[in-house]
Structure 1
Amino acid sequence: MKLYNLKNNSEKVNFETAVKLGLGQQQGLFFPVDLPIIPPSELSKILKMDFITRSTEILSKFISNEISKEVLHKHVKKAFSFAKPLKVDINKKISCFELFHGPTLAFKDFGARFMAQMILAFSKENESFTILTATSGDTGAAVAHAFYGMKNIRVIILYPKGKISTLQEQLFCTLGKNIKTISINGSFDDCQKLVKKAFDDKKLKELIGLNSANSINISRLLAQICYYFEAFSLLSEEQRKKLVIAVPCGNFGNLTAGLLAKSLGLPIKSFIACTNANDTVPRFLNNGKWDPQKTVSTISNAMDISRPNNWTRIKELFRRKKWNLKKLRFGSVSDDITKESIKELFQLNYVSEPHAAIAYRLLYDQLKKDEFGLFLGTAHPSKFKNTVEKILKKEISLPPELKKWNSLPLLSYNINPDFNKLKEFLLEK
């Protein structure tokens, strides 16, 4: 698999190098040179496969020249060794596709665990890495648990202090060992800037073997394509013909993966890019002006991102496929409407957290009479226990996965968004 740097097209690397580097020169994201297409006859066979076998087939379309299908299957099986996504019907026209049945109860488990397996597959004996990543909520836990205890890999996770849920914080800031966490006095965008600055420091990169596990890493992105095929496989023939998928968007990796699934040949009619008050993309799609504003804190904190990294990949995909960007549906939802949407879903016998509720709201509002809609459930509602309980005035019990970590002490460091302070930490700890 060959990939090119979106900021410097002359920089071309293979999949192994892209996985290990994370970012290219000038902080550029890697994008596939070739965009494979699955013909309809093969697609129908793939959709009948079990999740692991199908995922191996899909991923092999991109990387089979670097990893044999047999070896890839073993790594996919280890990466996705948890309960499959689940489709829950809300009404006759709308279903939720729950992606939060992994070890950290969030969709990020798919990408983080596959990336860990790819690092393992490509690692040479005694080769060491420092994984540096920023999280607005669920990425931190997924990455921490995916790499926890792995030999020669140190993970450092930055997150905005006081701007993720308590339970999200407990899941990845209590592990210790090779997992180091730093709360930053600022926003997620501040955290992301620090990560990018670290990648710009060539000497630092070489000294500590720097890599990133954000959705900027191509391995995470490819893994997420797989569950869109799983969603499609669970639908009736009639539903498949008119499918619209609403995606809660923060860094836009999840939507990028969905669009890559469509590029592969999955006949999804339309996507809805769903944001909260941090609506840089909806405003851009509405008026053509890229105007990121100061990040606003909301109850859907994983989407509190005003400069989404993966948007450049989406624009490139639309350009390459000659798709019309104006046909991408979009919308943003305020906290007040998010709360009302959580209540509305509860009246329909479904307990949702804020991110999925935003996707439900925009799907409900934009779905046409002849369409069928899926909205993505990206995290278990108990991860936002305090918020959901206040809205519904109902107690939510914690699943065992969260109870286990809830009473442990936090092991985080704290710094201002100062790159020199972060650099000291990276070199000394």
Structure 2
Amino acid sequence: MHLVNLKDNTQQVGFKEAVKTGLGRQQGLFFVEEITPLDNIDALLAMSLPDRSKVILQHLIGDEFSPEELGQLIDNAFTFPAPVAKVDDNLYSLELFHGPTLAFKDFGGRFMAQCLTDISQGAPVTILTATSGDTGAAVAHAFHGIDNINVVILFPQGKISPLQEKLFTTLGGNIHTVAVDGDFDACQAMVKHAFDDEQMRNELHLNSANSINISRLLAQVCYYFEAFAQLDDDARKELVISVPSGNFGNLTAGLIAKALGLPIKRFIAATNLNDTVPRYLEEGEWSPKDTIATLSNAMDVSRPNNWPRIEAMIEKGIIDKDILTGMAIDEDCTQMAMKQLQALGYTSEPHAAVAYRSLCKSLKDGETGLFLGTAHPAKFRESVENILGQPLSLPQALADVAGKHSYAVEKPADYAVIKQHMFDLLK
């Protein structure tokens, strides 16, 4: 697989090197220059999720892993389903919350852990990542207990749900968590700063597990094919997919699936009040504002890191910008959407509700809508119960951590402080 640093095209690497490096020079993302469509999509759709994923990822990655090696990594990572639920006559939800941490990031986090463990061959690695909610848990659980790999997770203090937080702050061992006095963008900025710091990179052997890392991103491509495979022929004809978007890795993966030949008609980039991308698609000006705290807090991102990859696909002609619609949903509409879904017999949470509401506003006659359910409603139990006025039982994964002690330490949004803390922990 040939990957180029989008900020410095003289830095060109293969897949394994990109996985080990995480972020390129000048904080540049690694990405492909072209995407070759897959042959015989119909035959692929008839396969199981793991078998289909082996074909898709071998096609994208190339021969850096043998088919047997890559197959084993996928079998170890994709051990749970991604079912499509019918919500209404022409509306469906792709439920991506049936993994160990009840969120879509289990797919990418587990595949990355498998890849990096194989590639590093026991050499020391420090995973440094920022989370607005689900990444932290998925990455923590994927790497917990792996020898010679330490994980440091920065998260915005008080800005993610308590149960989300407990899923990754209660593990201990090689999982180190820092509650930062700031928003997600401040956490992400410090992660990027660390990758520009030669001492940090070299002495701590840094890597990132955000969707910055190409392994996480490619894993997410697979569940778009899985969604399409579960729909009947009529639903496939005019399929519109609404993606609840924060850091935009999820939408990037969907666009890669489209470039591979999956016949999706168009995508909706659904955001909350942090509407940098919808405004950009409408007005053509990139003008991030201060991040706003919302009910859909995992999407509280005003400077999405994956957007340069989408821009690159548009500029290279890999995708047509016209297949993208931006839609920003406010707090009242988010709550209304949750109640509308409840009336249809479907319990959802704020992130999926943003995507559902965007579909309702955008869907045209003859189109079928699919929205991504990115997290189990119980991960946002307090807000879901308050909005819907009904109790919500906890799945076992959350019940197990609800009363556990958090190992998180509190730190200011100060890079020098975070750097010293990491050296104190790991040197």
What is the match of residue 412 of structure 2? 416
1:147-196 CA deviation, whole Å, 9 max, x = no partner? 00000000000000000000000100000000000000000000000000
Among 279, 285, 301, the residue aligned to 1:283:
279
The Cα offsets for residues 40-59 of structure 1, whole Å up to 9 and x where unpaired, read as xx211111111101001100
Q: How many angstroms apart in 2 are the aligned matches of 1:327 and 1:179?
A: 40
Amino acid at match of 2:32: P
Corresponding residue to 1:53 among 51, 54, 60? 51
Q: Across the two proteins, how many residue pairs are aligned to each other?
A: 425
Hey, what's the Cα distance between the residues in 2 that align with 1:124 and 1:101?
Answer: 30
Q: Which residue number in structure 2 is paired with residue 93 of structure 1?
A: 90
Following TM superposition, by how much is the alpha carbon of 1:322 offset from its aligned partner in structure 2, in angstroms? 5.5
2:407 partner letter? L
| Aligned counterpart, 1:116 | 113
* Alignment match, 2:42: 44
Q: 2:76 aligned with 1:78, yes or no?
A: yes
Q: Residues 56 and 188 (structure 1 numbering): CA distance in 2 closer, same or farther, change over 3 Å? A: same
Secondary structure of the structure 2 residue equivalent to 1:406: coil
| Aligned-partner Cα distance in 1 for 2:15–2:93 | 33
- Of all paired residues, the percent bearing the same amino acid is 53
Distance 1:321 1:68 in 2: 30
1: CA distance, partners of 2:64 / 2:281: 37
* Correspondence for 2:19: 19
State which of 210, 213, 219 in structure 2 corresponds to 1:214: 210
Q: How large is the Cα RMSD of the aligned pairs?
A: 0.9
For residue 49 of structure 2, what is the amino acid of its counterpart? F
SS at structure 1 position matched to 2:422: helix
CA contact (8 A) 2:259 2:318 kept: no
- TM-score, reference length from structure 1: 0.98
Q: Which residue of 2 aligns with 1:251?
A: 247
Does the 8 Å CA contact 2:240/2:268 hold for their aligned counterparts? yes
CA contact (8 A) 1:131 1:213 kept: yes
Amino acid at match of 1:363: L
Give the Cα–Cα distance (whole angstroms) in 2 for the partners of residues 427 and 89 of structure 1. 50
Alignment of 1:181-192 (within 5 A): 181-192=177-188
How much does 1:65 deviate? 1.2
For the Cα contact (< 8 Å) 2:132–2:300, is it kept in 1?
yes
> 2:301 and 2:254 mapped to 1: Cα distance?
19
CA distance in 1, matches of 2:307, 2:61: 23
In structure 2, list runs of 5 or more residues that go unmatched: none
2:227 matched residue in structure 1:
231
Give the corresponding residue for 2:156. 160
Distance in 2 (alpha carbons) for counterparts of 1:322 and 1:108 = 25
SS in 2 for 1:90: strand
SS in 1 for 2:401: helix
* Secondary structure class of the residue paired with 1:420: helix
Residue type of the partner of 2:401? W
Report the Cα distance in structure 1 between the residues aligned to 2:317 and 2:74, rounded to whole angstroms: 28
Deviation at 1:33, TM superposition (A): 3.2
Q: Are the counterparts in 1 of residues 33 and 316 from structure 2 also a CA contact under 8 Å? A: no
By how many angstroms is 1:136 displaced?
Answer: 0.2
- In 1, Cα distance between equivalents of 2:26 and 2:388: 46
Q: How far is 1:325 from its partner?
A: 1.9
Q: In the alignment, is residue 370 of structure 1 matched against residue 366 of structure 2?
A: yes
Q: Which secondary structure state, in structure 2, belongs to the residue aligned with residue 44 of structure 1?
A: helix
Residue 105 in structure 1 maps to residue 99 in structure 2: no
Is the Cα contact below 8 Å between 1:2 and 1:34 reproduced in 2?
A: no
Match 1:384 to one of 376, 380, 402 = 380
- Matched position secondary structure for 2:357: helix
> What is the aligned counterpart of 1:241 among 237, 243, 247?
237
Does the 8 A contact of 1:7 with 1:29 survive in 2?
yes
Partner of 1:146: 142
Give the corresponding residue for 1:312: 308
- Return the offset for 1:321: 2.3
Work out the CA distance in 1 between the residues paired with 2:68 and 2:62: 10
Paired letter, 2:300: D
1:343 aligns with 2:339: yes
Q: CA deviation at 1:428?
A: 1.4
Q: Which residue of 2 aligns with 1:133?
A: 129
Residues of 2 paired with 1:150 and 1:324: CA distance? 42
Asked if structure 1 preserves the Cα contact closer than 8 Å seen for 2:244 and 2:271, the reply is yes
SS of residue in 1 equivalent to 2:372? strand
1:130-154 Cα distance to aligned partner (Å, 9 max, x none): 0000000000000000000000000
Q: 1:81 to 1:327 in 2, by over 3 A?
A: closer
Aligned to 1:3: 3
Equivalent residue letter for 2:116: I
Tell me what 1:295 maps to: 291
Contact 1:156 1:180 in 2 (8 A): yes
Q: Say whether the 8 Å CA contact 1:263–1:321 is kept in structure 2.
A: no
Is the 1:98–1:378 contact (alpha carbons within 8 Å) kept by the matching residues of 2? yes
Query: Aligned residue for 2:321?
Result: 325
The gaps in structure 1 that reach 5 residues or longer are none
